[in-house]
Structure 1
């Protein structure tokens, strides 16, 4: 995800059609001067493809053999037919389609453009509870907004030369993995921990593991897999025992470790270096979270430590 590749398609070159999915069997612009632009982040080590789509309007038929796609329309309207059902989606709504044949119409908004973000998951992976040849509507509006904000940030950084380091994009992809799993998880497939002692033991093991890996681009799914439980089991245990999500606890640990580095700073220590060394790669947002947590900016902590 360290750079952004741009692909452009137009009615002027009708034989040049996009191939986001396994196979494109039909593609047509609505207008004679139609155009389509894909901005794609390079896949990271977890295998996610992230694409920003902008089109004057088109229809297409696709086949996707083994990947799940999650789309967030930003302007205009998306109408997709899959498994005999029509999914009509507008900005503020997201939708996911599992491996299937589908036909889509991307209709422009008042400004003459349809825009969206699409996340295509790794081949052969579907979050628990999903089935092939189906569509799903994520229910967590707040998490959808956070995911869109994260994607806008990732594209902004990828399109700004020298804006960040590859490790930052590993962290972005880890967050995308957590968000996708959270949005697509089926509550009916959740395995919840037993009350009291079992949940407390699981949370204790998770905290020990987080203490060892907090500075890596780790996901909640990674932590759950290491502990031998489902991610939602871990989520439920943290909510029951701590009143917070495991992702919130991981961020708390990172902020506390950052504070220790600033309080006992070496001559070369900066706010940016301290943040990045604990796995926090967006310094602006990190500083806001730090102030909420500790009542001061990280620069103030560093200045006080240096007298």
Structure 2
């Protein structure tokens, strides 16, 4: 386990050590989140690296990552805890068969921690060897408002109430990262308990550094062409522009095809790596992709 960073520069070094290229604004709010013990609320488009922040923080600090993947219909049984009903029934039957089934004593036994199934929220509040875990609440906007309201108790006091056992409170609060793709607005009451940061698409310079770190096999020319091409796509009116994850995937795919540079045919054949909607692919299939590539190569040649 590593100690928490003692400065913004140390936070930048921690992220960089895990090949996450962050700007100073992100490092600042992440440092303050850890220093103040406040959850960090990250908004941004899908694929810009929000979830990755929690992963690299976990690796960099040597702490366990606990991930709550949100979805529509997520309830307490899936997110917090539930009882192992099958094991409880076996215990009850065994007690009845042995003649030791005494009302209150049996109830206390079957509703003990032995039969409690801990889900991510409860796991995040438990003590862990090596320090408090990194607790990732991923894509919160996919849940409903009722579950969002339930999180208020957890984020306010880092505790949860199990009726049969009482209140369970974290001895050391976890490092909480909340992400949302902004498919709906999150209530202000929850946001007020967090520090906030908008994770935007990176500049061309920063994205080039990301590709160099994540796909070191790519030549300088290939990396430059990939980044410049993706940067131009993000200026188009597409249903879903490619994120950083798609940039990395595309560079990796081109390496697998033994490409040292991009050509129009390769772009056409690999658009499905960059774009995930047929309308977007179709828009680039009628010569638009070749035109973009021509502009990219011209601009890169002029810059040399």
TM over 0.5, shorter chain? no
Q: TM-score range by the shorter chain?
A: under 0.3
Normalised by the length of structure 1, the TM-score is 0.25
Q: Which entry has the higher C-alpha Rg, 1 or 2?
A: 2
Structure showing greater relative contact order (alpha-carbon pairs closer than 8 Å, 6 or more residues apart)? 2
